[in-house]
Amino acid sequence: MDGTLLPQAEELLARLDRDPQGAGRAARELVARSRRAGELAASSVAGRAAGVAAMQTGELTEAGSLLEGARLDGTRAGRPDLAAKAQMSLAFVLARRGDATGSLSLVEQALAALTGHDRSQALAQRGGIHHQFDVLDRALEDYAAALPVLRLHEDWVWVQRVLCNRGLLHVYRGDLHAAELDLVSAVAICREHGLDLQLAFALENLAFLHARAGDVPQALRRLEEAEDAHVALGADASTVLLDRAELLLAVGVAEEARHVAERAVAGLARSRWSGSRAQAQLLLAEACLRSGDLPAAQRAAAGAAAAFRRQQRPEWEAVAQQLQLRCRLAAGGRVSAYVLGGIADRLDGAGWRVPALDTRLLAARVALEKGDAKHARALLRAPGGVRRTGPVDLRARAWHVEALLRLADGRPAAALAALRAGVALVEEHQATMGAADLRSSVSSHRAELVDLGLALCLDAGRAREVLRWAERGRATALLTRPLRPPADDVLAARLVELRAAVAELEEAREAGTDLAALQRRQAALEREVRDRARLVPGSAVAVQHPSVSDLASALGERALVEYVESRGELHAVTVVGGRARLTALGPVQPVLDLLAHVPLALQRLTRRSASERANDAARALLADVGARLDALLVAPLAGQVGDRPLVVVPSAALHCLPWALLPSCLGRPLTVSPSAALWFRAALRPPRTGGVTVVAGPGLPGAEDEARQVAALHPGARLLTGAEASVASVSEALLSSGTLHVAAHGTFRGDNALFSHLRLADGPLTVYDLEALHSAPGLVVLAACDAARAWVCLGDEVLGLAAAFLGMGTGTLIAALVPVVDSAVAPLMVALHQLLRAGVSPANALATVQRDALARGDAAEIAAALGLVCLGADVAALPAQRVSPEAGAPALQRIS
């Protein structure tokens, strides 16, 4: 008979969704008490609660043992219903281990002993197992049969489980509307009835839906909520990591996705959750392949395929086989389009529409590369459906294949139309993201589209079309920056914590104490800042690309030179006097070889201890490299651009080039812009009015003297030095000043360009700080090392301090591409501001300063001058001021 302990056991079972760890501990204790008291029914229920709690926290071995004991206790108590319920839970443990046959066998045995409400729970459980092993039609049947009975009994725990699982199934099948209805209902039920653990799973599934729908910020927000909920409840969060890795891959952040997938694999290995572990291995293989580690990708894909085969999961095995074939293609091997088509048919048969489409696209491309257009068309029986369904990267690839099909039909104009549609799709998706790194990384989805469009237009020799296609693949992330980023108090607080941590780290470094714990703290805070910033939504700003006529009107007497790389060759499009012309410049590799010499030669010139002979050798090397680069890059255009001021839009290889190194550019007004569209926008924007703010950061000898001399040149200038040169003060100046000059230590972060920073009194002013502001001064001068450097992503997007200022609306920015000696750059800055005060435009002023520095011949000063570049549109932000003899201009001094 039922004893006094049975109600306690049932209460613990109900408590699992609120407190899995606490309920699990109490249930283990109650199992022992019940068995001592001979109350086997209570022991069966408590054992089931303890086993489910262990399963929820990833302890599958312990869960299996507890549930087997619960099943036996139910049988001994003469309660076949309790034994069957324990057996159902045990079946799910076997499913997580990947044992499809054993799991379903236990389910069928248990169902025979259950009726009514208990049977509806068992049907829902069987549906979940069918779902896990990809028998999706059977899963839907079980869910449909169970749901009405569960609702009738107001069993909200099981109702939301069915809705969550069915919603996830709809996502896999591409029915996002049905998925949203189920998942939103599940979340609402969890919130209404306090089902905290189930809410964590529901949010995770909702994140997956948002990711498939292309709403990346919302997906990341849901994943963050789900992970927090799992951690707070002590539940295993490895599946959240799995979803995060998949989302990062979807937006092109492959290296970070790889690290997250590795953590998921490790976590799932610890919990022996073999089914999801195999999926994590597959995702890891994808991340390794996209990040260029082919051997690691091959190993992970082979391991995943073998695991799916053992688990009798043929659809997942097919996906793993597709990935293995992609690895073979990447290694230069041969792959049959017919084999890939067979894999696609298997996936189609299982209802896996999105992976089937992905595989079919790959097969079609392989067929086209072999000249078999007929087979490619057969593979894409419904290409329009492909282009309208699934993740953005898949749809973009579909447009690429459609363009290839049209080319195979001899219709290049129609092919270009398909490519334009694909690029527009990616740009539309890009505009939905507020975070700079996501806006930049998602551009990787359009790279192949733009490359093919460029190649077609280059082959046709159409300069205007080449320029148009070059612009479609260049720095659009800066053009789609949200107009007014929303305030985020949590992100602001994390940035303050990060500054404090960096300051503490600097103090410890100077004191010679152990840095390991502080470095871990800094890394953790940086991850929090990065993840929080990605939650910011975009503003759906449409990218505006100016026509050649628009550019010509804005250029006036200037000449635009846009460099284009395609198939290993370098080209230039010039726009002069309203005419666009295309010039082939030859292979890219010789340019890259010459550029490799520049940083070392400039670095040699900065060494005050270097001998005159060493300095002469460095000067000679720079002169030779500069002349040879000039011959490759500018001399072939001389007849087109003449001696006009230049607006240069570099290709990826040329973003690191100090243009004053080239004889044709030294002393010539020259501005560099990441794209012609960005230059055009800056050139037409009225200069922002406001005063001059001058900032001196800490730890830089001569910075304060430089700042005082610069400030003295501008009546009424605001001077921030010492403790006043804080991030808050400089941020306020960014919003209110027309001109900003900063003399500070600068750091470029190659691992994450958004943590590139200027060092201020209370810590670093990072790109993340700048991204939180809605505007910037019209003219910014950064006397800081590497402040003009940029990280160029796949898709020709640029990230870094300079890119952030230009994206915020700075019209003109003068900064250093290389490390500079502060004592050498300071007099150049003072001379620059003397010219700016006299009304000389920024590009003209910098050209004069660079020419004069080379004429003086000081080695460190030459290096500093050559390393400076004028970015943006050469907008004059300072009105000309007459310097009266009575007032006296400050004398140019060398600052030591």
* CATH code assigned to 687-872: 3.40.50.1460
Q: CA 185, CA 187: separation in Å to the nearest integer?
A: 5
Residue-wise over 394-428: b if at least 16 C-beta within 10 A, else e? bbbbbbbbbbbbbbbeeeeeebbebbbbbbbbbbe
Q: CA 55, CA 25: separation in Å to the nearest integer?
A: 13
Residues 6+ apart with CB under 8 A from 415: 403, 404, 406, 407, 452, 456
* 736 secondary structure, DSSP code: H
Residues 6+ apart with CB under 8 A from 279: 242, 304, 316
Q: What is the mean pLDDT of the chain?
A: 87
- Of 715 and 175, which is predicted with more confidence? 715
Angle at 92 between CA 89 and CA 98, to 5 degrees: 155
What does the pLDDT look like over 10-51, one tens digit per residue? 888 888 766 777 888 899 999 999 999 999 999 999 999 999
Please give the single-letter amino acid code of residue 890.
P
Residue 890: pLDDT band (50, 70, 90) is very low
pLDDT of residue 748: 92
What does the pLDDT look like over 104-118, one tens digit per residue? 888 888 888 888 898
pLDDT above 70: residue 500: yes
What does the pLDDT look like over 752-772, one tens digit per residue? 889 999 999 999 999 999 988
Angle at 795 between CA 794 and CA 796, to 5 degrees: 95
Closest of 355, 362, 380 to residue 173, by C-alpha = 355
What does the pLDDT look like over 620-655, one tens digit per residue? 999 999 999 999 999 999 999 999 999 999 999 999
Residue-wise over 175-192: b if at least 16 C-beta within 10 A, else e? ebeebbebbebbbebbee
pLDDT of residue 128: 87
CB 307 within 8 A of CB 274: yes
pLDDT of residue 885: 39
CB 199 within 8 A of CB 191: yes
Residues 6+ apart with CB under 8 A from 53: 16, 20, 21, 23, 24, 27
Closest of 226, 235, 268, 229 to residue 20, by C-alpha = 235
* 654 secondary structure, DSSP code: G
CB 343 within 8 A of CB 334: no
CB-neighbour burial class of residue 764 (10 A; exposed 0-12, middle 13-18, buried 19+): buried
Closest of 251, 238, 211, 668 to residue 440, by C-alpha = 251
77-81, 588-592, 672-676, 794-798: least confidently modelled range: 794-798
Residue 887: pLDDT band (50, 70, 90) is very low
Q: CA 386, CA 357: separation in Å to the nearest integer?
A: 7
Please give the single-letter amino acid code of residue 826.
A
Average of pLDDT values for 64-68?
90
Closest of 874, 891, 824 to residue 854, by C-alpha = 824
Residue 483: pLDDT band (50, 70, 90) is low
CB 545 within 8 A of CB 677: yes
Average of pLDDT values for 731-735?
94
Average of pLDDT values for 365-375?
87
Q: 178 vs 166, 170, 357, 676, CA distance in Å?
A: 9, 6, 20, 44
What does the pLDDT look like over 398-431, one tens digit per residue? 888 888 888 888 899 999 999 999 988 888 888 8
Residue 778: pLDDT band (50, 70, 90) is very high
pLDDT of residue 881: 55
Residues 6+ apart with CB under 8 A from 345: 356
Alpha carbon 340 to its chain's center: 30
Do β-strands 757-760 and 763-766 pair in parallel, antiparallel, or remain unpaired? antiparallel
Q: CA 383, CA 391: separation in Å to the nearest integer?
A: 15
Closest of 412, 432, 457 to residue 539, by C-alpha = 432
Q: 565 vs 298, 525, 548, 580, 635, CA distance in Å?
A: 31, 38, 20, 17, 18
| CATH among 3.30.160, 2.40.50, 3.30.420, 3.40.50 for 558-679 | 3.30.420
Closest of 693, 701, 791 to residue 742, by C-alpha = 693
CB 167 within 8 A of CB 128: no
Q: Tell me the percentage of the chain whose pLDDT exceeds 70.
A: 94
Q: CA 75, CA 71: separation in Å to the nearest integer?
A: 6
pLDDT of residue 26: 92
- Of 643 and 267, which is predicted with more confidence? 643
pLDDT above 70: residue 883: no
Beta strands in 322-373 (DSSP E): none
Helix (H) or strand (E) holding 582: strand 579-587
pLDDT above 50: residue 801: yes
CB-neighbour burial class of residue 377 (10 A; exposed 0-12, middle 13-18, buried 19+): middle
pLDDT above 90: residue 174: no
Q: CA 207, CA 360: separation in Å to the nearest integer?
A: 27
Q: CA 6, CA 31: separation in Å to the nearest integer?
A: 10
Q: 394 vs 138, 214, 401, 593, 828, CA distance in Å?
A: 28, 11, 11, 36, 51
Closest of 167, 171, 166 to residue 391, by C-alpha = 171
Q: CA 246, CA 409: separation in Å to the nearest integer?
A: 36
Q: How many CA atoms lie within 13 A of 344 on its CB side?
A: 20
Alpha helices, DSSP H, located in 97-175: 100-111, 116-132, 136-152, 156-173
Most confident of 165-174, 219-228, 391-400, 552-561: 552-561
Q: CA 255, CA 287: separation in Å to the nearest integer?
A: 7
pLDDT above 70: residue 273: no
CB 308 within 8 A of CB 321: no
pLDDT above 60: residue 891: no
